[in-house]
Structure 1
Amino acid sequence: MRIRALALPAVLVLAFAVTSAAGGAPNAARFDRPYQGFAPANTVLRAGSPAAAGLNPAPIDAFDKQLAAWVPSIYPGATVLLAHNGVVVDRTATGEAVKYKDATTLLPADQQVPARTDTIYDLASLSKLFTSIVAVQQLEAGKIALDTPVAHYLPEFATNGKGGITIEQLLTHTSGLAPDPVPSLWQGYPDIPSREKAILDAAPQEPAGTAYVYSDLNMLSMQLVLQHVTGKPLDQLVREDVTEPLHMVDTGYNPPASKLGRIAATEYQTSPPRGMVRGSVHDENAWAMGGVAGHAGVFSTVDDLAVLSQAILNGGVYRGHRVLSEHGVQLMEQNFNQKFPDDSHGLGFELDQIWYMGGLSGPNTLGHTGFTGTSLVIDPGSRSFAILLTNRVHPTRNTPSTNGARRAAAEALAQAMTVSAPGGGQSWFSGQGPASTSTLTTGVLHGPENVSFEAFVNTESTDLLTLESSVDGGATWTTVPLTVRGQSAPQTALSGQSVRAWRQVRAHVAGSSNGLLLRWRYTTDPAYEGRGVNVADIRLSTGRTTFTPAGWQLV
């Protein structure tokens, strides 16, 4: 079953009824002209079609079909929300929120619960973002400092050589703490006080600051710091300082029984013997902490997360309710992990992770994933965000990764935005294929040739655009060095996502009495890629030529 709703539910009309400050129908969204700075602070989400937001609807429609096709192979149910420049352009649900009685037995059809656009999901590690936002709030309030050791606030934390671990290292996963408590909190300790002591007593597995180790213990430790410096439990801090100001009415820990009908089920657990988990946090360590933990425990909907995402794009404010200063948001967008280039990280938020951010990935793109199959990608450059919530651990956690679905959501938005050739006109485009090589080949030339062209490249670093030449009719090819305007050294290929702009490229190719062929060659692999590549305004010193495309199309 698939539900698509561009019109938002009546209960949320107040949250979404007002148009953005820009007003009116926008021009085509330009992916190659990223925005600078925050969105206007008074931008408020509204429902609209992709066309109303200046987007091409085809990639979003194709994604919605694929979202439904992934049921049940990747997840029983899913809900997605895509937004661009203040317009919610896609809000779709598919599959079932509750489908199984136990680990193997399907419920009768009349007892299964369809996923809805307002289904409440266990966010899993997206909960870390709420802990991090509270931490940045306390940083701005002067109650904690990034370079201060955790042990300054919690002296017991200094045990087992942890005296030098700082607040910044907890928030950027560079503390060296192990990924999880061993033994697990629910197995090894009888009550919450003993579990909190176990968190404080945990021994690091790496020296602080020497490695990136993604760790739930970082956020469990951060939870204890926040509770100590404020005198309030984490759930109260999140409620009072984040969800209530932003009117995120379906977001919080330990959701009330009155909302059970809208909550997606997760795993059927036998160890611990919890049965079918629904309305209680899936993560066992968070469950052992009473459902309120720094690393997991938050439940939410795509609508609520959309408000949070827009508040971040707005510079920390939504509908006049400020939860962070612009500087606080900048700290979440700033890469503190320059030493670990594959693990870029702001305070709490991951940055530039193409493996789930896809074509929206970039140095300032924020996001996170969750074990239950959730993801959030916020791209300030295009003022867009993609939210995917699933219950992929229902009825067991032994299911395929949702990374392909996560990337596809982001790719749909990236593809829906325009990349326009400099000065107008058409460009050759290649991208979004499986393992492939695409070639754009000239007719026979009689060089030497001075070649110039414009290139827009948004790819994984290993997905390369090259210019090649052949003087034997295409039997063998040689890479041509490229001179990119603004760069001093020649390059053999173009790749990467750090620059969302057209690049002017020049090359010189020697001629041959046998004739000369040139081709633009783009290679991808089955893993992932960015938005793809565009080539435009190809100019040859000997004049015009014809082109033979294989895997390229004029756009």
Structure 2
Amino acid sequence: MGRAVRRGGRERHPPHHRRHPTDTSPHPTATTPVELPPPDRVPLSVDTPFDLASLTKLCTTIAVVQQVERGALVLDVPVARYAPECTGVAAHGITVRQLLTHTSGLRPELPLYELPDVPARLRALRGEAPSGEVGAYVYSDLNMLLLQEVLQRVTGRRLDRLVRDGITRPLGMTGTRFGPCPGAAATEDQRRPWAKADRGMLRGEVHDENAWALGGVAGHAGLFGTARDLAVLCRTLLNGGSYGAARILGPDHVRLMLAAPGLGFGVDQAWFMGELAGRGAAGHTGFTGTSLVLDPATDTFLVLLANTVHPRRQHPDNGPRVRAATALARAVAAGPGPGAAWRPTTPAGH
């Protein structure tokens, strides 16, 4: 069931969406996916929940910046002050900012799912020390897992509660939650030998193995959400942190989060933003094929939800992300900056 929902919007105009469904399902005895007969196919809409994968990191980031805004966290203070049990990074003076900007020196991932139980997995995470150069950019899921530890220690609340009470509930994002999530688009048929774990067909259960091994609530992955909900989140951030009567951040802290090089968000990343990149565009991708891009220059956003790991994971393909972002960039002309003259991008008569 390779599927995608694309949603974009600008200013006060209602966001538009496109659906690209192709329904397949593995037969228990088959080695390749088998197309479902039409009566068995599940309809796809902007309200279909998808496994957001690493788009979860954006909500973790917002939760961190909310605590910064409230004065409970300081970006350049060592993690050791807030979560001394995270001894690996504490011994090296790693700061909250370094976790948010992926400059902690931590390796990209740690196979926590191979350890026997949650206590052992948490011990391994908390004891993990930087193995690379501190200050150099290396994208790592471990940064967000440790930020989850910091958040939970500082607030005394679980990450899922922080996201619900601080982001999704105020914004009316009723279709966004940590799993299990009934009705979600299926992801991978995780069976050995091609998968890392023997879990069968995943539907409504987090795809990421480490998030699954930690109970489904993790700082780097685990959220399910709909295109409609993520459109609301995008509009909120482009509005400076407010949506209607709801406010999740103040404008100054939204700017802090989205300014290059970005806190949790990637900024001007052409490899997935296409022609939207280069003007302060901010966003992120997810392993399941998802992506989100905010373009403050045109007050435009793009949400792409997909399950490209279904029925089996393939080599990552950024083509759909780039094409969607470039199509949006070409459809929306940026206005001139202060003091600049308007110059049309298309020759007269074309």
TM-score norm. by structure 2 comes to 0.91
Count of residue pairs brought into register by the alignment = 343
In the TM superposition, what whole-angstrom CA distance separates every residue of 1:160-207 from its partner, at most 9, and x where no partner exists? Answer: 7743110000001011100001xx11112x222221111111121213
Map 1:361-510 onto structure 2 (within 5 A): 361-399=277-315, 401=317, 403-418=318-333
**Are the counterparts in 1 of residues 79 and 89 from structure 2 also a CA contact under 8 Å?**
no
Please give the secondary structure, in 2, of the residue aligned with 1:90.
Answer: strand
Cα deviation for residue 364 of structure 1 reads: 1.8
Q: How far did 1:116 drift?
A: 2.3
Paired residue for 1:157, among 63, 67, 86? 86
Q: For the residues of structure 1 that align with 2:310 and 2:36, how far apart are their CA atoms?
A: 16
Equivalent in the alignment of 1:187 = 114
The answer as to whether partners of 1:311 and 1:318 remain within 8 angstroms in 2 is yes
- Counterpart for residue 176 of structure 1: 105
Is contact 2:78–2:90 with CA below 8 Å preserved after alignment? Answer: no
Question: What corresponds to 1:272 in structure 2?
Answer: 197
Counterpart among 45, 60, 71 of residue 142 in structure 1: 71
| C-alpha distance after superposition, 1:193-232 (max 9, x if no partner) | 22111111112121321x1000000000000000000000
Q: CA deviation at 1:88?
A: 2.9
Matches within 5 A, 1:338-353: 345-353=261-269
Q: Which residue of 2 aligns with 1:322?
A: 247
Task: Please name the residue that 2:34 is paired with.
Answer: 106
> Paired residue for 2:140?
215
Q: Which residue in 2 is equivalent to 1:354?
A: 270
The higher radius of gyration belongs to: 1
Tell me the CA shift for residue 389 of structure 1: 0.5
Residue matched to 1:287: 212
Q: 1:89 to 1:143 in 2, by over 3 A?
A: closer
| 1:435 aligned residue | none
Change in Cα spacing, 1:101 to 1:367, as seen in structure 2 (3 Å) is farther
Counterpart of 2:150 in 1: which secondary structure? helix
Please tell me whether the aligned partners of residues 23 and 35 of structure 2 are also in contact (alpha carbons under 8 angstroms). no
Letter in 1 for 2:45: R
Q: CA deviation at 1:156?
A: 2.8
Superposed CA offset, 1:468-522 (max 9, x none): xxxxxxxxxxxxxxxxxxxxxxxxxxxxxx9996699xxxxxxxxxxxxxxxxxx
Q: Can you give the 5+ residue segments of structure 1 that lack an aligned partner in the other structure?
A: 1-74, 336-344, 423-497, 505-532, 537-552
Q: Decide whether the 8 Å contact of 2:166 with 2:248 is kept in 1.
A: yes
Q: Supply the RMSD in Å over aligned alpha carbons.
A: 2.5
In the other structure, the counterpart of 1:91 is 17
> In proportion to residue count, which structure has more strand?
1
Deviations 1:417-458 (A, max 9, x none): 2479x9xxxxxxxxxxxxxxxxxxxxxxxxxxxxxxxxxxxx
Structure 2 vs 1, CA of residues 238 and 275 (structure 1 numbering), >3 Å: closer, same or farther? same
1:362 to partner: Cα distance: 2.5
Instruction: Give 1 or 2: higher helix fraction.
Output: 2
Q: Distance in 1 between matches of 2:149 and 2:22?
A: 36
Shift of 1:314: 0.7
Question: Could you say if the C-alpha distance between residues 367 and 101 of structure 1 is closer, same or farther in structure 2, counting changes exceeding 3 Å?
Answer: farther
Are 2:127 and 1:201 equivalent residues in the alignment? yes
Partners of 1:307 and 1:198 in 2: CA distance: 37
